[in-house]
Amino acid sequence: MKMFYKLQQKVENWFGHVFETYGRFVARNPLKIILLVVFINIGLGFGLLRLEQESGIEQYTPTDSTASKNRDQIRELFTIDTAVNYYQQSLPDLGLFASVIIERKDGGNILDSSLWADLTALYDFINTTTAHDSTIGSFTYVDICAKRSSACVVEGDLIFSTSFLADMGSGTISFPTYIYQGQTVYINRIIGGAQVLNNMTTSAKALKLTFNVESERSSLSRLWELAFLKKISTYSNNQLKIKYAYSDSLTEELSKNVTGDIVFFSITFTLMIMFSSLTLMGGNCVTNRYNLGFAGILGTGLAIVGSFGLVSLCGAKFVDIVGAMPFLILGIGVDDMFILLSGLADTSSKDSVEDRIGKTMRTSGISVTITSVTDVIAFCAGAASVFPSVRNFSWYTGCAILFCYLNYMTYYIGCMTINEKRVAKNIHFCTCMPTKTRTDMEASKQSKCKIFCCAGSPHKSRDEIEGPIEKYPKRLVKRIVLFKPTQIVICVIFAVYIGFSVWGTTGFQEGLDIRDLVGKDSYYYDFYDADQNMFSQSLIVSLNIQSEINYRLESTFNQLVSLVTNVQKDSQVFDDFLLSWIHAYRSSAVFDQTSDALFISGLQSFLSTAQGNVFVNDVMFDTSNKIVGSRIHIMTDSITSSNSQADLMVRIRESVELSSLPVFAYSPGFIFFEQYVQILPQTLQTLGICVGVVFIVTAIFMPLPFMIVLVTVTVVMIMVGVIGFIKFWDLTLSSVTMIHIIMCVGFCIDFSTHMCHAFVQAEGNRNVRVAQALDMAGGPIFNGAISTVIGVLMLAFSSSYVFFSFFKIMLLVMVFGLIHSVFLLPLILAYIGPQYKVVKSDVYPVKEITFDGKQNKLEHTLPEPKPDYPGAE
């Protein structure tokens, strides 16, 4: 073990020497470095002019997934003209539409003929919605509607037919299917909250009308949708209430919900300044560090601006969740500030300013570097994610942490130098005027008020400069951690904590409820909630054949039958629904398979009939009249659970893969289901990389096997706690919470590294070294945790699930990180921490490393601790 201890001292001394040399360089050129850093940050900030925003639900789905690739294949294989032949099952996406759900205000049965005049008026109200375009002028729904057989396609308009009204009067509306004009209609997509007796609808809570619009003229369709949204929001009726949405409502409301909460940042910025200033208001009118607190917050703000500009220049798009990043960076920056100021407080005022800054960088510079490097690499791992939201958030946040670190190592060290030069000259922190000492002012019989406001002198010990918030919490912790009865209590509490954490992880759920992405006051929340709870969520899944095969052969038809049979064996796939052009064609009068030419001509004749028109988008011919692509459709049960949706998608794909045909399964919903398949392995992979990074970085800076294992195990324990307790806060694993969990790794190592590194630097027996470590790192850890909580506190009042879940997880991380670092780690170190003697003569030999053309010989000693805890004697 002595070998590792010597290696640790050599590593510590080598890095310490480099950081001290650098610190002295900054101390000799503070103003130049401050101006340079400010100029660079502001200059890069102009990159914000190129900021591009990416919104919508697909930022939370994996890129290059099987479903997204299949969607591209669908678009390449099949040509659809929604202005002529609109069929929803043929679309590669959810299409463009405006939808309205109608309920009675009294909650009664909507299937009441007395309401049909109001329903008809509502239909006309929507149908006559007028939009305006600068090129074509004003237009209504009829001008832009999706058409079939030259008529606008409004799903649900069958409720206005004479046959439906007659069946409603006689109580013979079948459910869930209904025969309308000889076609089977799944009426459970139109009638919601139905009460059924003997397959007949007796009453219903709601009706749904969906006005489909053209996809080819999307710009005009968007204009009409926005006109619909504006007009429908003004609708009122004495008997009816409505809930409405259009195809882009989720994207719009998601972006509005997130960006609307960014106004909290200004409040957070103010709170952070107040907390930092209050914490650093210790000492007297000379040693007061208020200005350093303000400078630290300003440096963090500059880092945010510079990093945003740089990443924007590099082309990374701003996703909604990046709006939470500034809150996080404020907390990280203030944590670094407290660590640096703690190191500065440990130096002697008798030394020169250059010496003191150098010694501060020797001790605290290394600690800040360890945590910052680990945070940045952890987010680099997140930047490799397949989820755009995770990837872009990681780019922005990782870059911001790097900028924050660089700013504190340059700009803030310069600010510290200027402040210490002021202190050395006995200048007032506020007025910048020369100040008399308290003794001199008392001798000249000045008033107590004037002495309080004006007297001051450089500090002689750490206690004189620290404020109450820095001083007293760590003193209390020392007494708790090094007192045997409370040590037993700590062990019991952590045993219970581990038990609950492990229990929580066993019940951890995956999934993302779309309702969580918008505020409860959003019109889309009401619509989506009603749609999910009252109407069928069955999926139409297409089985797509993507190359030329001979459909005329019986063997090919048998393969298609086998394909459908295998898929329909699944309990959640209907075995009585099949929309198949080849089955329908073979049953028609024009079917002819005597030759390839007759087969094709018969098929084209069939597709031109009323019976075959429904399949017109399902068979594609090339210029030589060969079939180059085709598809048949099946239907699934109504499924709303995210896990069940993902499982069903996987099972259907597995069934399809059994076929020898070149076929793949696709439904627009699969795009969203992909996240539920990939989220767990992606999270585990990223966390594994992050833990590995923690291990490697710790091994580089603290090459003591015990410390490496201790820091790594502590990180894992905190992560298990956070993941386990997520269950108790009704959160699930999704691409949103995955981001928060990745962040967890960075914060997990921050506090534990500060404590362990301080312990390694200390001298004496284990108890003495624990006490010194708490002196050195305890205050900054407390203040860092509190500042980070303040940084995200305003998000607790957010209406956004993205921001509110961010707050919940960050609070867990801060609480668990704090108790592990100031209670559990000191307790372990007090009993089994590594013991070795730091030989001051072992300072790493200087190899004439120069900055500014000057050589520096570096030495550093730690102050002897004062025994103020049980057993220190």
Q: Which residues contact 703 (CB under 8 A, 6 or more apart)?
A: 4, 7, 8, 11
Q: Write out pLDDT tens, residues 424-476.
A: 898 988 888 888 888 888 888 788 888 878 888 887 777 777 777 777 788 88
CA distance 100 to 154: 11
Residue 837: predicted pLDDT: 58
3-state SS, residue 371: helix
CA distance 349 to 188: 80
Residue 871: predicted pLDDT: 47
Given a contact cutoff of 8 angstroms between Cβ atoms, the answer to whether 309 and 329 are in contact is no
Both tokens assigned to 19: 């950081």
Place 860 in a pLDDT band, splitting at 50, 70 and 90: very low
CA distance 463 to 152: 80
Mean pLDDT of 88-95: 91
CA distance 175 to 171: 11
Angle formed by the axes of helices 2-28 and 366-382, to 10°?
A: 100
3-state SS, residue 96: strand
Environment class of 618 (CB within 10 Å of its CB; exposed 0-12, middle 13-18, buried 19+): buried
Place 218 in a pLDDT band, splitting at 50, 70 and 90: confident
Given a contact cutoff of 8 angstroms between Cβ atoms, the answer to whether 798 and 257 are in contact is no
Place 852 in a pLDDT band, splitting at 50, 70 and 90: very low
CA distance 519 to 521: 5
CA distance 653 to 728: 34
Residue 382: predicted pLDDT: 80
> 283: phi > 0 → left, psi -120 to 50 → alpha, else beta; which?
left
Least confident of 418-422, 705-709, 776-780: 776-780
Residue with tokens 């206690």: 463
CA distance 279 to 13: 31
Place 209 in a pLDDT band, splitting at 50, 70 and 90: very high
256 or 242: whose pLDDT is higher? 242
Place 784 in a pLDDT band, splitting at 50, 70 and 90: confident
Q: How far is CA 846 from its chain centroid?
A: 47
Taking 80 as the threshold, does the pLDDT of residue 844 lie above it?
Answer: no
Among the listed residues 106, 167, 820, the one whose alpha carbon sits nearest the alpha carbon of residue 481: 820
Given a contact cutoff of 8 angstroms between Cβ atoms, the answer to whether 320 and 255 are in contact is yes
Taking 70 as the threshold, does the pLDDT of residue 174 lie above it?
Answer: yes
Number of residues that make up the chain: 873
Given a contact cutoff of 8 angstroms between Cβ atoms, the answer to whether 540 and 88 are in contact is yes
Among the listed residues 631, 635, 633, the one whose alpha carbon sits nearest the alpha carbon of residue 575: 635
Taking 90 as the threshold, does the pLDDT of residue 568 lie above it?
Answer: yes
Among the listed residues 466, 490, 469, the one whose alpha carbon sits nearest the alpha carbon of residue 479: 490
CA distance 236 to 122: 10
Residue with tokens 């050599």: 10
CA distance 869 to 486: 13
295: β partners = none
Residue 475: predicted pLDDT: 84
CA distance 247 to 252: 10
Mean pLDDT of 688-705: 82
C-beta neighbour count of 629 within 10 angstroms: 21
Give the CA radius of gyration of the chain.
Answer: 34
Mean pLDDT of 146-154: 92
Least confident of 117-121, 280-284, 456-460, 539-543: 280-284
Give how far Cα 733 sits from Cα of 671, 729, 736, Å. 18, 12, 8
Among the listed residues 586, 833, 556, 596, the one whose alpha carbon sits nearest the alpha carbon of residue 709: 833
Mean pLDDT of 615-642: 90
438 or 674: whose pLDDT is higher? 674
Among the listed residues 191, 201, 107, the one whose alpha carbon sits nearest the alpha carbon of residue 155: 191
Q: β-pairing, 53-54 with 318-319? A: parallel
Taking 80 as the threshold, does the pLDDT of residue 492 lie above it?
Answer: yes
Among the listed residues 421, 310, 434, 499, the one whose alpha carbon sits nearest the alpha carbon of residue 26: 421
Secondary structure element (H or E) that encloses residue 619, with its range? strand 619-621
48: number of CA atoms within 13 Å, CB side?
11
3-state SS, residue 507: coil
Given a contact cutoff of 8 angstroms between Cβ atoms, the answer to whether 363 and 327 are in contact is no
CA distance 542 to 92: 10
Residue 339: predicted pLDDT: 86
Secondary structure element (H or E) that encloses residue 791, with its range? helix 779-793
3-state SS, residue 431: coil
Given a contact cutoff of 8 angstroms between Cβ atoms, the answer to whether 322 and 392 are in contact is yes
Mean pLDDT of 601-606: 94
Q: Write out pLDDT tens, residues 809-827.
A: 888 888 898 899 989 999 9
Place 142 in a pLDDT band, splitting at 50, 70 and 90: very high
Least confident of 44-48, 196-200, 455-459: 455-459
Secondary structure element (H or E) that encloses residue 195, with its range? strand 195-197
CA distance 147 to 158: 15
User: Average pLDDT, whole number, for the chain?
Assistant: 86
CA distance 809 to 797: 15
Environment class of 222 (CB within 10 Å of its CB; exposed 0-12, middle 13-18, buried 19+): middle
Residue 488: predicted pLDDT: 93
647 or 754: whose pLDDT is higher? 647
Both tokens assigned to 459: 């500090």
CA distance 696 to 713: 13
Taking 60 as the threshold, does the pLDDT of residue 655 lie above it?
Answer: yes
% of the chain with per-residue pLDDT over 90:
43
Residue 258: predicted pLDDT: 57
φ, ψ (nearest 5 deg) of residue 527: -65, -50
Helix intervals (H) in 185-263: 218-232, 249-259
C-beta neighbour count of 594 within 10 angstroms: 9
Least confident of 121-135, 386-400, 565-579, 787-801: 787-801
Mean pLDDT of 844-867: 41
CA distance 281 to 469: 10
Taking 60 as the threshold, does the pLDDT of residue 110 lie above it?
Answer: yes
Least confident of 269-283, 414-428, 580-594: 269-283
CA distance 487 to 33: 47
CA distance 307 to 403: 6
Q: Write out pLDDT tens, residues 745-769.
A: 767 777 788 888 888 888 888 888 8
Taking 70 as the threshold, does the pLDDT of residue 234 lie above it?
Answer: yes
Highest mean pLDDT among 54-68, 374-388, 527-541, 855-869: 527-541
Residue with tokens 């995210």: 642
Q: Write out pLDDT tens, residues 536-565.
A: 999 999 999 988 789 999 999 999 999 999
Residue with tokens 């701003």: 318
325 or 151: whose pLDDT is higher? 151
Q: How far is CA 112 from its chain centroid?
A: 46
Residue 490: predicted pLDDT: 93
Taking 90 as the threshold, does the pLDDT of residue 190 lie above it?
Answer: yes
> Any idea of the CA torsion for 411, 414, 418, 421, to the nearest 10 degrees?
160
